Chain A
Amino acid sequence: MRAINLSNDKNRNAQVGFEQKRTKSDIRMVCSDGREHQNARFLKSTIDTEVDKLVEQAGSAEQLLADIINSDPEIDLERVGMQLTGVRKIYISDMSDIVHSIHRNEVVFTPNGELKESRPYEDVESNINTDIPLRWTGKLIPKQKAVRMFVFSRKYQIKHINGLTYDFLYDMAKQLSEKGAVMLLGAGSKGVGPVVLSNGGVSYRAFLEGRISDDGKYCLILHLTNLELKAIA
């Protein structure tokens, strides 16, 4: 279970756990003859059988076409079909050489696909478990309104790790449940910034939803969104 530093309406904070519980489909694929099976990765082609390389070797595209009809230069018979495990990610140059020292730029495109700007890549750091807790912004949005305003694409359940944090989280869930609203959480020193779950990850707006039951159970859910829906004028 991952850790998150969360504060409540009184600015008291605690480190608690959170996790995502995905519901798996109960449908699975099985062999009709009852055999067990597993997925495996196989090599389809290599760098030496890419079209550009083959054209270069053949001298022209027309010659390559003739070669493909007469033989199989596009298939590396020694390697194709090889089962792969432990493939590592690398970068290669135009000459297909492995590049050992790279520079990363972030290229920004407009909705039309036009290049807007290119800037040095900056690794965004996670801000959910730092010295500065995620804070209640005090901005409550009724659930009925929130589901129409935002597309909540990710959600995590906040969990207590001991008796003290149970009380801490139960109280939060109770407050939110009674108000029938979700609370906007803010990150950073000002407590208004977006939430980043992991280093280099996507920034999300985070909302906290609470539910309680009569038998002392609670459910505190962190809803994440990066898409706001607005009515068409």
Chain B
Amino acid sequence: MESKFYEEDKLLVLKITSEIDDHIVQEIRRRADYEMERYMPRKVIFDFNNVTFMDSSGIGFLIGRYKFANIIGAKLEMTNLGSSIKKIFEMSGILKLIPTVELN
């Protein structure tokens, strides 16, 4: 995972650079929580551009981070969802909680 913090906007971009399954998600979760705690951002954007595979662990991961973001007072957004990732998120209804945005 690559993280980038934009101080002026208090924006944290977390780019996931691996597949997301039950095994790998444990490490991504630790890292995401660490970065969120470290920067205390107002907004966190998860970038899925480099995610080539995701199963339902991704849903649990995002719901967990959504709760954590609420605790620290941050908003959560997602960007660059591939078609199969989108299909899984649509099925779970998570897109109603966490909006997708365009990010360059």
Q: Do A and B make up one complex?
A: no
